[in-house]
């Protein structure tokens, strides 16, 4: 029998699409040399990434790092035997999620200390030495290749699952649900529903508001 299971709670889904928009926005505004807008996209991505890290500890089941970061044994098992359906992120997906979050965290944090020597200075550049600003410029410049790489890898992997493996991952990231039990020959691991009620959504709103206020007063003062 087909059963719908809530995989991605609303805060995780909203996080995903806003985050994608902010990171792609930072890339596009850089190409257009709109540095002011570039910084706004970067600030948004940074606050969202910090939210997602917190959500990885306090959010519902499938959003939690502990539910999807695999042990070495689980990864080996996954690579050997693909015939197990993972409802949340699979072990390889888990590494790419952690990779994206860390790479964007480094990129946006370094951005706060950059100085383009022409018209723009990151909001924290004035508090550190010239050497640190140089180092952060270098990190921001070098790490952007990792941002490009991981975004391309992510889009490629989603395309592969969608077109080649015929597994729809995009739908659940929009409406939140996955159907379980359509193919009885594939065993499903851990059919745990993610809580997605008003209380958990309210908690996400509180976390985002607190982060935005702290960011406004401590970073953009």
Q: Which stretches of the chain bind ligand HEM, using CB under 6 A?
A: 12, 15-16, 19-20, 23-24, 26-27, 30, 35, 38-39, 42-43, 45, 52, 89, 93, 97, 100-101, 104, 107-108, 111-112, 114, 116, 120, 122, 137, 140-141, 144, 147, 151, 154-155, 158, 169-170, 173
Please, which residue, 170 or 206, has the CB nearer to ligand HEM? 170
Please, which residue, 153 or 213, has the CB nearer to ligand HEM? 153
Please, which residue, 172 or 181, has the CB nearer to ligand HEM? 172
CB atoms inside a 10 Å sphere around CB 48: 25
DSSP string, 120-131: -B-TTGGGS-HH
Please, which residue, 76 or 134, has the CB nearer to ligand HEM? 134
User: C-beta of 6: minimal distance to ligand HEM in Å?
Assistant: 14
Residues with Cβ within 8 Å of 200's Cβ and at least 6 positions away in sequence, in order, are 9, 11, 59, 60
The phi and psi torsions of 123 (rounded to 5 degrees) equal -65, -20
Please, which residue, 30 or 177, has the CB nearer to ligand HEM? 30
User: C-beta of 216: minimal distance to ligand HEM in Å?
Assistant: 14
User: C-beta of 170: minimal distance to ligand HEM in Å?
Assistant: 5
User: C-beta of 142: minimal distance to ligand HEM in Å?
Assistant: 8
Residue among 24, 202, 3 at smallest CA distance from 87: 3
Please, which residue, 73 or 95, has the CB nearer to ligand HEM? 95
User: C-beta of 134: minimal distance to ligand HEM in Å?
Assistant: 10
Take residue 45 and report the two structure tokens written for it. 């991505």
User: C-beta of 210: minimal distance to ligand HEM in Å?
Assistant: 19
The phi and psi torsions of 21 (rounded to 5 degrees) equal -60, -45
Rounded to an integer, what distance in angstroms lies between the CA atom of residue 186 and that of residue 134? 53
- Give long-range contacts, CB 8 A cutoff, 24+ apart: 218-221: 219/43, 219/112, 219/123, 219/124, 220/43, 220/123, 221/123
From residue 221, give the alpha-carbon distance in Å to each of 36, 112, 126, 209.
16, 13, 12, 16
């Amino acid at each position: 029998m087909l059963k719908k299971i809530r995989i991605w709670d609303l805060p995780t889904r909203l996080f995903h699409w806003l985050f994608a928009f902010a990171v792609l926005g930072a890339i596009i505004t850089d190409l257009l040399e709109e540095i002011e807008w570039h910084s706004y996209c970067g600030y948004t991505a940074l606050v969202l990434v910090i939210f997602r890290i917190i959500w990885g500890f306090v959010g519902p089941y499938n959003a939690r790092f502990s539910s999807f970061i695999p042990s070495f044994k689980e990864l080996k098992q996954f690579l050997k035997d693909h015939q197990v359906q993972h409802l949340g992120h699979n072990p390889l997906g888990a590494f790419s999620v952690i990779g994206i979050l860390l790479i964007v965290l480094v990129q946006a944090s370094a951005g706060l200390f950059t100085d383009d020597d022409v018209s723009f200075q990151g909001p924290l550049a004035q508090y550190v030495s010239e050497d640190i600003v140089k180092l952060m410029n270098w990190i921001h410049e070098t790490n952007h290749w990792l941002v490009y790489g991981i975004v391309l890898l992510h889009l490629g992997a989603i395309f592969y699952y969608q077109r080649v493996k015929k597994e729809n991952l995009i739908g659940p990231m929009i409406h939140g649900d996955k159907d379980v039990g359509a193919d009885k020959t594939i065993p499903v691991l851990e059919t745990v529903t993610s809580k997605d009620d008003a209380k958990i959504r309210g908690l996400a709103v509180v976390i985002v508001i607190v982060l935005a206020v702290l960011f406004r007063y401590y970073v953009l003062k």
